[in-house]
Amino acid sequence: MGLSNSSILNSADLRFSAPEEYARTLRAAHEATISGAPDPRLPPSLIKSWQRSLALGINPDQHRPVHRHEVSEARSLSAGRRLAAVMPALSQLLADETATGRHLLIVTDHVGEVLWRIGSRQALRLADSLEFVEGADWSESGVGTNAISEALVTGVPAQLFSAEHLVRTHHDWACTASPIRDPLTGDVLGVLDVSGPFESVTPDSLRLVRCGVRLAEELLKSATPPAGPDRDAGSTLALKLRLLGDAPSAALDGDTLRPLTLRRAEILALLASRTQGWSADELAYEIHGDAGTAAAIRTEMHRIRSLLGNVVEANPYRFAAGVTVDSDAARVARHLRAGRVAAAFAAYPARFLNRSANLAIGFLRDELNEAVGASVRASGDARLMLQWCLSDMGSVDTAAAAAAAKLMGPDDPRGQLVNARMERIDRELRA
């Protein structure tokens, strides 16, 4: 996609022979179109892409890309990506790290997050000014129309020159990109992009990017897919969380359960409690109160990903697409919703994150405990109520104790045991 694939202006070859003149013509067409008078010479596909970007809230005048991860965090996570295996070969073929190098080699993941960028210091400084850095989202929703976003949307190679980009600060750039696909499934694993000042683009740029993609896909045929948590588009992960009791832990795809610090368990529990996700500021407040900072949350997220892989995505923070989460607390809730009260109680050996003093976790703990208690009381099963009252979770449930004692009768020693316990609790509360 892009002006090179259209008859617009009848002078597309000027992008190589007279790039300054061609860029001026494109900027004029861009200004007219953004002002509400679409230039009829622009390809409809490009205008539609601009319109989608604008509808997503992209500001052509001053938009900064969304950052899914901090730069250091993205660099750390990229090492475990499947595409890491092809980066040495791509660097040798396409990168230019010499002092006079003008273009960047960029590789993103399947949703447009920049994972690697290689180039000269000069090129990297120019990219820094656009926040074209590791962890930045270069999809259409992240930064508006560009070659990476077009490759993701269309599934084919794209080249954008100057004002074909929606955001004006990108008008000094030219970008050539193509999807990299899994050679076995055809799923998009990421995007290979070569970007630089528009004067640096050549008639060979698109051919070189296509060659790079073919090389990457050939290398992937012989590369062993990772057995760990980093997977690409179309695959799923099963994350198991153990949150009941005093020793929270997590496991991925049947691996051995790994212990979690209480703080990380609290974060994962909050993520599991809300499908729409949390901003860094929201999580910071829920976890740390008024003293919380987004930076502290990002640090914890980095540690969680180091332990479990890329199971959490940012902006907002939530479990990544393709990750299915199953917690012991959720299993209890599923039993209750299905009316399996005895099974719910059997699956509920201890309170939710029992050692946590966090207020939000406390609400989740009380909600689950009350749901189990109410279901036990409503069951009409005296034996089950007795077991509930003798457990740590139901030890202060005087309503369940009274109901159990009534069902068992005054002469049943089990009822007397429950009454004695409730009388003791009553004395302790009065003291």
pLDDT of residue 357: 95
Single-letter amino acid, residue 246: D
- Arch. (CATH architecture) of 237-327: Orthogonal Bundle (1.10)
Average pLDDT, the chain: 86
Token pair of 117 as six digits: 């960028």
Q: Full-prediction pTM beyond 0.85?
A: no
On the question of pLDDT at 55 being above 90, the answer is no
Segment 123-145 shows an average pLDDT of 93
Residues of the chain with CATH 1.10.10.10: 237-327
Q: What is the tens place of the pLDDT at every residue in 277-302?
A: 899 889 999 999 988 888 888 888 88
First and final CA of the chain: distance in angstroms? 78
133: closest CA among 114, 147, 109, 118? 114
Superfamily of domain 3-222: GAF domain (3.30.450.40)
On the question of pLDDT at 421 being above 70, the answer is no
Single-letter amino acid, residue 312: V
pLDDT band (50, 70, 90) for residue 99: confident
On the question of pLDDT at 272 being above 60, the answer is yes
Segment 49-72 shows an average pLDDT of 87
Q: What is the tens place of the pLDDT at every residue in 356-381?
A: 999 999 999 999 999 999 999 999 88
In terms of C-beta density within 10 A (0-12 exposed, 13-18 middle, 19 or more buried), how is residue 245 classed? middle
Q: What is the tens place of the pLDDT at every residue in 68-94?
A: 888 888 888 787 788 998 999 999 899
The single residue listed with the structure tokens 């995007």 is 191
Angle at 327 between CA 399 and CA 306, to 5 degrees: 140
Cα–Cα distance measured from residue 287 to residue 424, given in angstroms and rounded to the nearest whole number: 36
What is the number of H-type helices and E-type strands within the chain?
18, 11
pLDDT of residue 408: 73
Segment 161-173 shows an average pLDDT of 93
pLDDT of residue 410: 65
pLDDT band (50, 70, 90) for residue 3: very low
pLDDT band (50, 70, 90) for residue 429: low
Cα–Cα distance measured from residue 425 to residue 431, given in angstroms and rounded to the nearest whole number: 10
On the question of pLDDT at 7 being above 50, the answer is no
On the question of pLDDT at 128 being above 90, the answer is yes
Residue 276 has φ and ψ, to the nearest 5°, of -80, -5
Which is more confidently placed, 351 or 141? 351
pLDDT of residue 425: 65
Single-letter amino acid, residue 106: I
Whether the Cβ atoms of residue 316 and residue 277 lie closer than 8 Å to each other: yes
The single residue listed with the structure tokens 């683009």 is 201
% of the chain surpassing 70 pLDDT = 89
**Considering only 107-121, 122-136, 228-242, which range has the smallest mean pLDDT?**
228-242
pLDDT band (50, 70, 90) for residue 194: very high
Q: What is the tens place of the pLDDT at every residue in 200-223?
A: 888 889 999 999 999 999 999 876
On the question of pLDDT at 170 being above 50, the answer is yes
pLDDT of residue 68: 85
Q: What is the tens place of the pLDDT at every residue in 10-36?
A: 455 676 777 788 888 899 999 998 888
217: closest CA among 342, 89, 310? 89
**Considering only 98-112, 304-318, 324-338, which range has the smallest mean pLDDT?**
304-318
pLDDT of residue 90: 93
Segment 259-270 shows an average pLDDT of 95
pLDDT of residue 331: 94
The single residue listed with the structure tokens 């960029």 is 106
**Angstrom distances, CA of residue 304 to CA of 59, 197, 310:** 33, 38, 9
pLDDT of residue 364: 95
Residues of the chain with CATH 3.30.450.40: 3-222
